[in-house]
Structure 1
Amino acid sequence: MDARGPRMAEVLHLTVSIARTPADVYAFAADPRNLPLWAEGLARSDVRQQGDAWVVEGPAGRVTVRFAPPNDFGVMDHDVELPSGVIVHNPMRVLPNGEGSELVFSLFRQPGMSDEQFVADRSAVEKDLDQLKSLLEENPALPSRDGASG
């Protein structure tokens, strides 16, 4: 903190509208086992549970992911521990939007990240959100929260 107040990171709030109920979006996206189906920027392999965390192989190597506990508020925050030991907090929410949903991911610029790296990070997240949208909208039979089809 300096005389002007605390230093704050640059942040982008990336959103995608999904023509599925918030319950359906949350049920699918909050299940770590589904990450390889839509979150290539994080998980490119099967997801293994290890205690209260999930281990995946991704672009950054082997990472450990810890998710917010299941909840009725659409909160899917998750912390990603990189191979270096650095932990990146990723706020993520599903919000009602008429008969569908708005998924919001808050992307924080990490310390020391170049402009090019931040743009690449943004592009990766946007690609993942678009993949989630396509997957859910094109596959109405994907399980909803109660296990029934959407």
Structure 2
Amino acid sequence: MAWDEWERIKSDSTAQQSASTRLNQVAPGAGNGGVGRPDMASSPAAKKAAAKAIGEDMEPGVTRDGKHAAESTNAAVKEFGPKDGHGWETSSALKRAQETWEKQVRMLLGRLASEKQALSATGISFRTNELDTTARLARQSRIDGI
């Protein structure tokens, strides 16, 4: 391999590396932090408001609407059911659909409850992490003077 060819390969390699690994900072306002912006933000007030909305609006609404659908379906099952010994197959199909509906409503209520609990616990978790980090930094600053 000639010396000139080696120099050309090194130059090409350096040019490729510098172009592909050239990220020193995020441009201001480009999202995900940037200059003057925190890397992570947590809004306890927003989490509390979301948990409150789940508990006061969504869960009661799902419960109410789930019961309303069950009442309407029960009425339809009764109407299509056997009166003179013969009933419509629609009655049994509606009954199965109602059972599926009730299961889905219970699952949705369970999911809402877990989301509400997670929103409430997140604030506590962030605060605990913040206190822990502050304590560790305070311990480190005492050692720095030695």
Question: Normalising by structure 2, what TM-score?
Answer: 0.26
Q: Hey, which of these two has a bigger chunk of helix by percent?
A: 2
Higher relative CO (Cα under 8 Å, sequence separation at least 6) belongs to 1
Question: Normalising by structure 1, what TM-score?
Answer: 0.26
Who wins on radius of gyration, i.e. which is larger?
2
